[in-house]
Amino acid sequence: MKSKSLKTQVLVIGAGVAGASLAVRLTKQGFDVLVVEKDIFPRHKLCGEFVSPECLAHFEQIGVLDSMREIGGDVIRETRFISESGRTLRVPSEWFSNGTSGALGISRAEMDYRLLRKAREEGAWVIEGQRVVSISTAKNRVQGVVVKDKSGERTGIEADLIVDATGRARVAGKLVERGTGSNKGGRSTKHIAFKAHFENVRLERGVCEIYFFRGGYGGLNYVEDGLANHCFIIETQTARQYGGDADRIVSEVIFRNKKVRKALEGARRRFDWIAVSVEKFGRQASVDPENLISIGDARAFIDPFTGSGMLMALESSELLANAIGRKDIKDAGMIKERFDADHRRAIRQRLNVCSIIRGLAFSPRLAGFVIGAGSLSGSLLERITALTRPARNISE
């Protein structure tokens, strides 16, 4: 039974990077924004926690750059791609920032908490610890959204515009598909990812290591408090051979890569592994109702080896905030049309390039071959990596 009901101009479902940054941008423009988040922040979240240099310009625009730097994480100047045999290919962070700054290694717990705090400070109304559980539609529009807290109490919400920022879970999109019978059924999960923080890791400061192993790849970089984040993604069938036990996968599969073993042997895990399934890379299914728009991973998921998922989430919230703020755009349907076109244009090339490179990432032999060859030509490598980022001029 619904016990309460609320009304707002924009309802943002999910307070990850995409949702919280959108809330900041829209409240700054004077919109009435309600954010609903299932978790209570701060909370750990599965992620490589490599905040690429391009994100810093977004942080500056929305007024959180100093706050992010205050976290005291690592400034990452170089990413090293390491094959199983130990061959290394180096990608300087300055390639993504025109030399202005490094990437940041900071925990998602702290980063997401500070983004959401900023949204509150700007005037967004934030409800944590409540999940969206149902969505009603009529005449190609969302009529109402129902959220539920841990005690089971339900609240109905009406909004002019509803934004699905629930990440790869695509909660709003899936609820609508279920309600309209257009759900194509569950996908088989081909990949699973794990993450935990470690102390006592032997890793150079200012470096992010991306390493390859049978059936997957992982990343290691420092965050705040002297801890390192270790995050990896692996084919589900390989993970199953080890009972889905992350510690066993690390010691029996990943440690065949000697450089990773050297970095992590003797390190202590600070909390239980967080595990999530990864169903799909690239564009997600589009949603029909004209006043429901997906952003961030709910819209498109770029391969983690690019270290640019958070950037894409920030870009999508910027594009949507711009479309909503335009004076010549009058209704939700027009906002959606505009956003769809802008977003498609912004990400098409990146996703296409990643779908070609993806095969390498899950094949250690191929990755080893390319790493060996790629290290010979820095300018070619710079051009290839640029194709996985937003368009910019590459230095000749």
Ligand X SMILES: Cc1cc2nc3c(=O)[nH]c(=O)nc-3n(C[C@H](O)[C@H](O)[C@H](O)COP(=O)(O)OP(=O)(O)OC[C@H]3O[C@@H](n4cnc5c(N)ncnc54)[C@H](O)[C@@H]3O)c2cc1C
Which of the stretches 242-250, 297-305, 364-372, 375-383 binds ligand X when contact is defined by CB under 6 A? Answer: 297-305
Q: What CA–CA distance (Å, rounded) separates 333 from 65?
A: 33
233 binds ligand X (CB under 6 A): yes
Other C-beta atoms lying within 10 Å of the C-beta of residue 139: 7
Give how many residues touch ligand X by CB under 6 A. Answer: 37
Which of the stretches 30-38, 73-81, 154-162, 242-250 binds ligand X when contact is defined by CB under 6 A? Answer: 30-38
With CB under 6 A as the contact rule, the residue among 83, 93, 101, 166 that binds ligand X is 166
Q: Is the peptide bond before 42 cis (omega within 30 degrees of 0)?
A: yes
Instruction: Name the residue among 305, 103, 310 with its Cα closest to residue 223.
Output: 103
Evaluate whether 41 touches 194 at the Cβ level (below 8 Å). no
Q: What CA–CA distance (Å, rounded) separates 358 from 362?
A: 7
Grouping H, G, I as helix, E, B as strand and the rest as coil, residue 375 is coil
With CB under 6 A as the contact rule, the residue among 6, 65, 75, 169 that binds ligand X is 169
Evaluate whether 293 touches 339 at the Cβ level (below 8 Å). yes
48 binds ligand X (CB under 6 A): yes
Q: How far is the CB of 142 from ligand X (least distance, A)?
A: 14
347 binds ligand X (CB under 6 A): no
Q: Which residues pair with 7 in a beta bridge?
A: 158
105 binds ligand X (CB under 6 A): no
With CB under 6 A as the contact rule, the residue among 11, 12, 18, 64 that binds ligand X is 18
Between 131 and 154, whose beta carbon lies closer to ligand X? 131
Show the tokens assigned to 25.
């941008």
- Looking only at residues 111 through 150 of this chain, which bind ligand X when binding is defined by CB under 6 A? 131-132
With CB under 6 A as the contact rule, the residue among 23, 24, 26, 193 that binds ligand X is 193
- Looking only at residues 299 through 338 of this chain, which bind ligand X when binding is defined by CB under 6 A? 304, 307-311, 313
Element (H, E) at 332: helix 332-361
Helix, strand, coil percentages (3-state) for the chain, rounded to 5, are 40, 30, 30
Q: How far is the CB of 329 from ligand X (least distance, A)?
A: 23
With CB under 6 A as the contact rule, the residue among 8, 10, 16, 111 that binds ligand X is 16
With CB under 6 A as the contact rule, the residue among 10, 12, 33, 47 that binds ligand X is 47
Which of the stretches 34-42, 178-186, 198-206, 383-391 binds ligand X when contact is defined by CB under 6 A? Answer: 34-42
Which residue has 């993604």 as its token pair? 233
Q: How far is the CB of 275 from ligand X (least distance, A)?
A: 10
171 binds ligand X (CB under 6 A): yes
Q: How far is the CB of 172 from ligand X (least distance, A)?
A: 8
297 binds ligand X (CB under 6 A): yes
220 binds ligand X (CB under 6 A): no
Between 50 and 222, whose beta carbon lies closer to ligand X? 50
Evaluate whether 346 touches 311 at the Cβ level (below 8 Å). no
Task: Quickly list H helices, 140-235.
Answer: 171-180
With CB under 6 A as the contact rule, the residue among 11, 12, 37, 113 that binds ligand X is 37
Which of the stretches 1-9, 10-18, 255-263, 285-293 binds ligand X when contact is defined by CB under 6 A? Answer: 10-18
296 binds ligand X (CB under 6 A): yes
Q: Which residues pair with 193 in a beta bridge?
A: 233, 276
Q: What CA–CA distance (Å, rounded) separates 116 from 114?
A: 5
Q: What CA–CA distance (Å, rounded) separates 313 from 297?
A: 7
Element (H, E) at 76: strand 74-76
109 binds ligand X (CB under 6 A): no
Show the tokens assigned to 215.
């059936």
Element (H, E) at 368: helix 364-374
54 binds ligand X (CB under 6 A): no
At 303, which amino acid appears?
A: D
Residues that bind ligand X (CB under 6 A): 13-19, 36-39, 47-50, 52, 131-132, 165-167, 169, 171, 193, 231, 233, 278, 296-298, 304, 307-311, 313
